[in-house]
Amino acid sequence: AHELRNSLGVLTNAVAYLELAIPMDDQTIKKNFNHMKENVARANKVISDLLDFARDTRAAKSVFSISAVMDGALKDQKIPGGIKVEKRCPEGSYPVFADRDQVYHIIFNLLKNAVEAMTAPDGKSEEGKLILNCRRDNEGKVILSISDTGIGIPPEDKEKIFEPLFTGKSSGIGLGLSISQRYAELNGGSLKVDSEAGVGSTFILTLPGGDNTGERTQIHTGESTQIHTD
């Protein structure tokens, strides 16, 4: 996988050089270059998923605001103008005790899937709504739900979507949700889905709250103590 990534790096640099050397006035040439870049990025994503799936992963846990991680994932996600986003988590709220990078990975992947579910097969954005909501349960756990008004999941696929290598998409290899669920469980939480075909889906991420014990009440600032767990 690492050797493949090195080869893709060479290809990426070559495409970037050619973009500078060749005038992009011709729309056909520009379209083909964009197509190459998209496929290189897709191949890199496949390699990253394979490495993540094969890696013996641990969780470097600390306390941080899940709302802040959501903001970062939303900023990094390409959301078409036709999709309205509603974030119902106050700024700096809902501290959790988990691995910040792994939680970011989960949220980013769920947002990406939601956007794709509300995008037409030709790649054009459709009208839709993306809702992110936070709450606590009676045990103090933080529950984040990400809902979309996309195509939904067929009933026969709902039990399979977290299985490795299962995908209902024309692209990808079906590891994103499997890795996300593994990260959730690694951090003492869970990842589930409620979906209706033709109506939309809601993915529900549950994580341990981070505001109940001693030093862990401090919101993650980059200086908080990290605890490595198997």
Span 129-152, pLDDT tens digits? 999 999 999 999 999 999 999 999
Name the burial class of residue 121, with classes exposed (0-12), middle (13-18) and buried (19+) by CB atoms within 10 angstroms of its CB: exposed
Q: Which CATH number fits domain 59-229: 2.60.120.620, 3.40.30.10, 3.30.565.10, 3.30.420.40?
A: 3.30.565.10
In degrees, rounded to 5, the angle at the alpha carbon of residue 68 between the alpha carbons of residues 78 and 207 is 105
Of the candidates 206, 178, 201, 179, the one whose C-alpha atom is nearest the C-alpha of residue 191 is 206
Contact 165, 49 (CB under 8 A): no
Average pLDDT over residues 216-221: 37
- Token readout for 230 is 């198997």
**Taking all residues of the chain, what is their mean pLDDT, rounded to a whole number?**
81
Domains of the chain, residue spans: 2-54, 59-229
Span 60-106, pLDDT tens digits? 899 999 999 999 999 999 888 889 999 998 877 899 999 999 999 99
What is the pTM for the complete model shown? 0.70
> In sequence order, which ranges of 139-189 are alpha helices (DSSP H)?
176-186
